[in-house]
Amino acid sequence: MIQRMPVFAVVVSFLFFGLEPVNAEWNPPDKLSRQEIVETSQKILAMPDIPIHAEEEISRIRVLEMDWDIAVMVYEPQDSSRIPVGPDGKKVGVFIIHGGGGDHRSKDGLARLIAGKFGFKVASMSYPGYLYLLNESHDWPGEPVNPDGTLRVPMWNKDQPITPDQYEHVQDTSMMDRYGTLQLACAKEGTDFFDRMAAFPVVFEETGKSLMGQHLPEDEYSIYIHGHSTGGPFSFMLTQRVPNIVGVLGMENSPFGYIYSQLIGGRTWNLPFNCLSEFTWRITAMYAGSEALDNEGGDALMHLPKLMEQVLESYQRGTTGPRFKAEYPVHLNGVESLIAAARATAERLDLNSEETAELVRRYRGYPRELSGPGVKPVPPVLFSIAQKSKDHTYEGYTQIVLPMFTAMNPAPKVHLVPFEAGVHSYSRAEPDLPMGLAPAMVQLWHDAIMGGYYY
C-alpha cells in the first residue's frame, strides 16, 4: 500500500532542491499552445545544470537457456542527495525505452535534460541486440542491406555472431502501402538466429526487469516509464510486471500493441516471427511524406525529387544506428506470430504440454494489458502527442485509444495533452525550439510527478 507524503513535505522537497513547488491540486492541461511550448523551453534550457554522472553498463544475462548481452546508460546527479523525492516518499526514477531501429544513444539528450535540469535518476536501455558492441562508438558498419547481399542482424551475444548462412533475404509487399517493399532477414529454422528471434519478446521483458531492479530498486525508487514510438508497447507491457512502476510518461508513445493496431486502421503483423525487418530509406520516407503533407499539402508533390534527396540524405545519416526491427509481433499485435514463437521456444527447451501452454499464455499477453485476480493494474498514464505526428492523431486518441483504456478492468487514470508543435521525433529542432518538444515535455512530466497526478 502506497503511503502518501503530506503536502507540506512535497513543498519542502521542492524548496530544498531549488525548484518551484507544484500545486497540490495540479491537473494536466487540455493542450499546450506553441507559445507556451516555446516559453517553457526557454525557461528550462536557461535553468542551471545539475552536475551529473553518466555511465554505460553492458552486462550479460541468461534467459531461456541462452546468454544475452544487454546495455543501459544510467544518469544521476553527482550528489545523490539531489535526487528528488516524490509524493509517495520514494526517490524519482525515470526508465526510458527508445523507438524502433535505434539504441540508447538516441535518447542521450533527453536523459541528460531530465537528470541535468530536474535531478531525476534516469536509466535508458537499448533493446537486446541493438547496440553494436565491437567498437567504442557503437556505430554499426555498412548498411542494413549491403551491396554484397548481406543484411544487418542484431548482436545479441558478441561472442556468438549471427552469420549470413543463418538467414535468407526476403522481400515482402504485403504491407506496401504503408512500408513499401519490406526487406527481411528471415532466420532459418535450426539456427541460433531462429532461436533468438523466437525468444526475443521474453528477453525484452527480462532485460527491462533486470535493469530496473538493479538501477531503480523497489525499496528506494518509484519508476516513471517512457517508451517512445515502438518502445511504447514494451513500456506498457512492463508496467504490470515491475512492481514499482507507478506511471507512464507519454509523448508519441504507441499504446499496447492491440490498441496501436486499431489506431493505425486495424493493421497487424502477419509475417513470421523469425523475419527481421531492415530499416531502409522507405521507413524514412514514410515519416517524411506525412510531415511534408502536413507542412505543404499536395504542393509537396511538386518538388518530389528534392524531398526524395532529403529522405536519402537523412537515411544515410542514420545508418550508424541499428536500423532493424524484431519487435513488430508485440508492436503490431501479431498474436499468431507470437504463438508460433512461443511454440518454437517450447520445442527447443523440450517443455511438456502444460509448460508449453503456460509459455504461449505468456507470449499472448505481451501486446495487451493483463487482468484477473492478483494482477497489478495498469498505472496512471499521461499521453502527449505532437502536432504533426503521422499516426498519433488527436482524433485517433479521442476516438480509439482513450476509450479502449477506459474499457479496461480496472480502468487506469488516463489523460491526453496535445502539443501544438513538433513531430513524431519530438526532440527534433525547429524555429524557437532548439530541442524540439523535449524541454516542455519534461516540464510537464515533472509537474505531473511532483504534483501528484500518479497518486
* CATH number, domain containing residue 146: 3.40.50.1820
Residue 432 lies in a domain: yes
Query: Could you please report the per-residue DSSP string of 39-91?
Result: HHHHHHHHSPPPPEEEEEEEEEEEETTEEEEEEEEEEEESSGGGSPB-TTSSE
Q: Which residue range is the domain that position 90 belongs to? A: 7-279+323-450
Residue 289 lies in a domain: no
Residue 284 lies in a domain: no
Cβ-based neighbours of 402, under 8 Å, separated by 6 or more:
383, 414, 416
Residue 301 lies in a domain: no
CA distances (Å), 268 to each of 180, 330, 373, in order?
A: 16, 10, 29
Distance, CA of 272 to CA of 49 (rounded, Å): 48
Distance, CA of 434 to CA of 428 (rounded, Å): 8
Structural domains in the chain (count)? 1
Distance, CA of 47 to CA of 62 (rounded, Å): 43
- Identify the DSSP state of 230: T
* Predicted local distance difference test score (pLDDT) of residue 16: 36
pLDDT along the chain (455 residues), means of 10: 33 40 77 98 98 98 98 98 97 97 97 98 98 97 92 98 97 82 95 98 98 98 98 98 98 98 94 93 79 81 84 85 95 97 98 98 98 96 96 97 98 98 96 98 98 96
Distance, CA of 402 to CA of 93 (rounded, Å): 26
Residue 455 lies in a domain: no
Edge-to-edge order in the sheet of strand 66-77: 52-63, 66-77, 121-125, 91-97, 221-227, 245-249, 381-385, 414-418
* Predicted local distance difference test score (pLDDT) of residue 389: 93
Residue 94 lies in a domain: yes
* Predicted local distance difference test score (pLDDT) of residue 17: 40
* Predicted local distance difference test score (pLDDT) of residue 300: 78
* Predicted local distance difference test score (pLDDT) of residue 400: 98
46, three cell numbers: 536557461
Distance, CA of 246 to CA of 18 (rounded, Å): 25
Strand segments, DSSP code E, in 64-194 are: 66-77, 91-97, 121-125, 167-172, 182-187
* Predicted local distance difference test score (pLDDT) of residue 22: 58
* Predicted local distance difference test score (pLDDT) of residue 24: 56
Residue 292 lies in a domain: no
Distance, CA of 78 to CA of 143 (rounded, Å): 38
Residue 268 lies in a domain: yes
